[in-house]
């Protein structure tokens, strides 16, 4: 295990290699998941805003200002489909990135020796700072806005379905 870790460190020190491409790929996954998370958040806000705006216009003016019932249903269905597609794609990219993160972080454990009481590391042989920063940025930047971890996808999906259901009720109520 120590030999493999040293070989990996040597590959990192040697410059561009397959490992370097993997780190770039993790950085690309981090940017992509961050963008998809912002798109998912924007889509959920848009879905909620359409419902609120339409409901307020129906209550205040007794008829919709912009959309009628079938148009509300169509727009909400499109937004719901887009939201679920964004969340599905986000989840796929995040799982791929998590796999790379877990495997590479296990591989880069510094001078690990298997002791009877667990794993013991030697901090004097750490991976380079750039590698640690890449990992830290990936973990910090791949959560959906205003949520943490994998539960964020469920929160966004439930919110989208609730907004869609409210839109259906407002649309049918006209």
For the chain, 174 residues long, give each residue's pLDDT as a single digit of tens.
Answer: 445 545 644 554 444 457 778 888 888 888 888 999 999 999 888 888 877 777 777 676 665 556 666 777 787 888 889 999 999 999 988 888 888 888 777 777 654 444 444 555 555 566 777 877 888 888 888 888 888 877 888 999 998 898 888 877 877 766
Distance between CA 56 and CA 77 in Å, rounded? 20
Instruction: Please answer whether residues 37 and 90 qualify as being in contact, where contact means their C-beta atoms are separated by less than 8 angstroms.
Output: yes
Q: Which two tokens stand for residue 83?
A: 């939201």
pLDDT of residue 7: 60
- How many helical (H) and strand (E) elements, i.e. helices and strands, does the chain have? 5, 2
Q: Note whether residue 110 is domain-resident.
A: no
Count of structural domains, the chain? 1
> What was the pLDDT predicted at 56?
74
123 within a domain of the structure (yes/no): no
Instruction: Determine the pLDDT at residue 21.
Output: 80
Phi-psi region of 112 (alpha: psi -120 to 50; beta: other; left: phi over 0): beta
Residue 113's pLDDT is 44
Is 66 within a domain? yes
Residue 119 located in a structural domain: no
Note whether residue 28 is domain-resident.
yes
Chain-centre distance of CA 96, in angstroms?
Answer: 11
Assess if residue 154 is contained within a domain. yes
Token representation of residue 17: 């290699």
What is the model's pTM?
0.72
Does a structural domain hold residue 8?
no
Instruction: With respect to residue 34, please indicate whether it lies within any of the assigned structural domains.
Output: yes
What is the token pair recorded at 79?
A: 């937004």
Owning domain of residue 152: 18-103+129-172
Report how far apart, in Å, the C-alpha atoms of 63 and of each of 14, 66, 75, 169 are. 69, 9, 17, 14
Length of the chain in terms of residues written:
174
């Amino acid at each position: 295990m120590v030999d493999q870790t040293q070989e990996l460190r040597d590959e990192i020190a040697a410059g561009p290699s397959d490992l370097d491409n993997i780190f770039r790929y993790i950085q690309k996954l981090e940017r992509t998941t961050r963008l998809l998370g912002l798109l998912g958040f924007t889509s959920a806000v848009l879905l909620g805003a359409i419902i609120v705006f339409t409901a307020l216009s129906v209550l205040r003016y007794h008829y919709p200002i912009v959309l009628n019932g079938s148009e509300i249903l169509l727009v909400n269905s499109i937004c719901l489909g887009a939201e679920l597609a964004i969340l599905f794609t986000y989840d796929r990219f995040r799982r791929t990135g998590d796999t790379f993160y877990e495997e590479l972080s296990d591989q880069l454990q510094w001078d690990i020796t298997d002791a009877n009481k667990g794993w013991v590391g030697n901090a004097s042989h750490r991976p380079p700072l750039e590698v640690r920063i890449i990992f830290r940025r990936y973990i910090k930047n791949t959560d959906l806005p205003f949520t943490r971890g994998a539960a964020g996808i469920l929160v966004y999906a439930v919110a989208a379905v609730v907004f869609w259901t409210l839109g259906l009720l407002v649309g049918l109520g006209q």
